């Protein structure tokens, strides 16, 4: 953006911004974001096509997929459970505060806990774990392979890097987010109950507590949980892969690209969660969307 400076009353130098330049910058930014979204959607559609083509699943591709599932899903289980347990305690502490502050009854805690966990917190937490543990690592690995000429080596042997590197990583990240969200949700409910019992906010038995939770289950919850974990996980994975592959020819670009991929993936996950909430529940916070 070009900014000219003019002297005002001989004392202060103020930048003078031309409106057409501002519009140009905004337009440029919007187009850039649209291109980024289209690239992500293209990558995801190509991944879907390849994933549903049996020929793609050669023995080395299956091996990449299983290694990635092990690293992202299985190895991430403990982290997801640990974070879920901590968040469960945080939620119940907040619930206890509200019981004292506005006179909420303890019967209202189970539904609140359920909604907060299933609809919002568990999918987000699983995405955070997967991006932190694997997304950045995938981005770094792909960027290094590109700079180092390893992608060229694959390509030269007639092996499509999209089929052998990108597709199995995206699929395993999506599976992992879904499974880790279930694990986080379970950990949150368990520690939420334990914490609630400990501070006297929950006074019912565990079975009664579970019974209350089951009574709160709504079809919309599944309609929300499944796409939220899958769509958010897919976007996060696609962003990490795209950013990793976008690196230029210098190895010094790799750390910068990896950290940017992590931040962009996190941003996308939050935006997608918000959009899905609006689409599925028809509300923005307390305001109903017409």
Partner 1 sequence: MIMPSLESADSMVLELRHLSHQPRFENGLQFQNVDLGIRSGELLTIQVDGAARTRSFASMLQGIGSPDSGEILFMNQDWLGSDYPRHFSQRSLIGRVFDGQAWLENLNVDENVTLAMRHHGRTREEIQASIRYWMSHLGLDKLVSRRPAFVAPATLQLHQWIRAFIGKPKLVILERPLQFLSEDWLAKLLSAVEDILNDDIAVLWLDSRPDLQSLTFNGRSRHVRLDGGKFTMPSDNIGGHHE
Contact residues for partner 1 (CB under 8 A)? 58-61, 141, 145, 148-150, 152-160, 164
CA angle 87, 79, 115 (to 5 degrees): 35
User: Which is closer to partner 1, CB of 29 or CB of 58?
Assistant: 58
The contacts of residue 27 (CB under 8 Å, 6+ apart) are none
Minimum Å distance from CB 147 to partner 1?
A: 10
In the chain, what are the helix, strand and coil shares in percent, each to the nearest 5? 80, 5, 15
Minimum Å distance from CB 187 to partner 1?
A: 31
Long-range (24+ apart) CB contacts under 8 A made by 157-165 are: 159/60, 162/46, 162/50, 163/50, 163/56, 163/61, 164/58, 164/60, 164/61, 164/64, 165/64
User: Which is closer to partner 1, CB of 18 or CB of 67?
Assistant: 67
DSSP letters spanning 34-49: HHHHHHHHHHHHHHHH
Q: Provide the H-helix boundaries in 131-166.
A: 136-148, 150-156, 161
User: Which is closer to partner 1, CB of 10 or CB of 158?
Assistant: 158
Minimum Å distance from CB 44 to partner 1?
A: 18
Torsion angle of the four alpha carbons 191, 181, 94, 271, in this order, in degrees rounded to the nearest 10: 170
Minimum Å distance from CB 49 to partner 1?
A: 12
Q: Rounded CA gap, 103 and 74, in Å?
A: 42
User: Which is closer to partner 1, CB of 249 or CB of 289?
Assistant: 249
By CB neighbour count within 10 A (0-12 exposed, 13-18 middle, 19+ buried), where does 215 fall? exposed
User: Which is closer to partner 1, CB of 24 or CB of 155?
Assistant: 155
User: Which is closer to partner 1, CB of 51 or CB of 159?
Assistant: 159
Minimum Å distance from CB 151 to partner 1?
A: 9
Minimum Å distance from CB 237 to partner 1?
A: 18
Specify whether the backbone of 13 is left (phi greater than 0), alpha (psi in -120 to 50) or beta. Answer: beta
Q: Rounded CA gap, 163 and 151, in Å?
A: 12
Minimum Å distance from CB 175 to partner 1?
A: 21
User: Which is closer to partner 1, CB of 77 or CB of 150?
Assistant: 150
């Amino acid at each position: 953006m070009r900014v000219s400076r003019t002297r005002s009353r001989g004392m202060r130098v103020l930048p003078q911004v031309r409106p057409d330049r501002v519009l140009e910058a905004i337009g440029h930014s919007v187009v850039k974001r649209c291109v980024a979204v289209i690239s992500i959607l293209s990558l995801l559609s190509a991944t879907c096509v390849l994933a549903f083509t049996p020929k793609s699943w050669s023995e080395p591709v299956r091996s990449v997929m299983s290694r990635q599932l092990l690293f992202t899903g299985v190895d991430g289980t403990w982290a997801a459970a640990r974070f879920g347990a901590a968040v469960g305690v945080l939620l119940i502490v907040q619930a206890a505060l509200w019981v004292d502050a506005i006179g909420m009854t303890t019967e209202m805690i189970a539904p609140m806990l359920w909604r907060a966990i299933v609809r919002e917190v568990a999918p987000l937490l699983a995405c955070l774990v997967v991006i932190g543990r694997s997304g950045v690592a995938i981005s770094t690995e792909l960027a290094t392979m590109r700079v180092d000429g390893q992608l060229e080596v694959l390509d030269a042997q007639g092996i499509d890097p999209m089929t052998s590197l990108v597709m199995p990583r995206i699929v395993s990240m999506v599976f992992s987010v879904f499974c880790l969200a279930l694990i986080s949700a379970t950990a949150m409910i368990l520690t939420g109950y334990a914490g609630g019992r400990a501070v006297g906010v929950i006074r019912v038995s565990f079975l009664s507590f579970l019974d209350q939770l089951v009574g709160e289950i709504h079809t919309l919850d599944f309609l929300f949980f499944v796409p939220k974990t899958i769509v958010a996980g897919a976007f996060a994975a696609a962003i990490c892969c795209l950013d990793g592959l976008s690196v230029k020819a210098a190895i010094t670009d790799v750390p910068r690209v990896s950290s940017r991929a992590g931040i962009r993936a996190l941003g996308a996950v939050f935006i997608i969660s918000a959009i899905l909430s609006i689409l599925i529940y028809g509300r923005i916070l307390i305001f109903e969307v017409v």
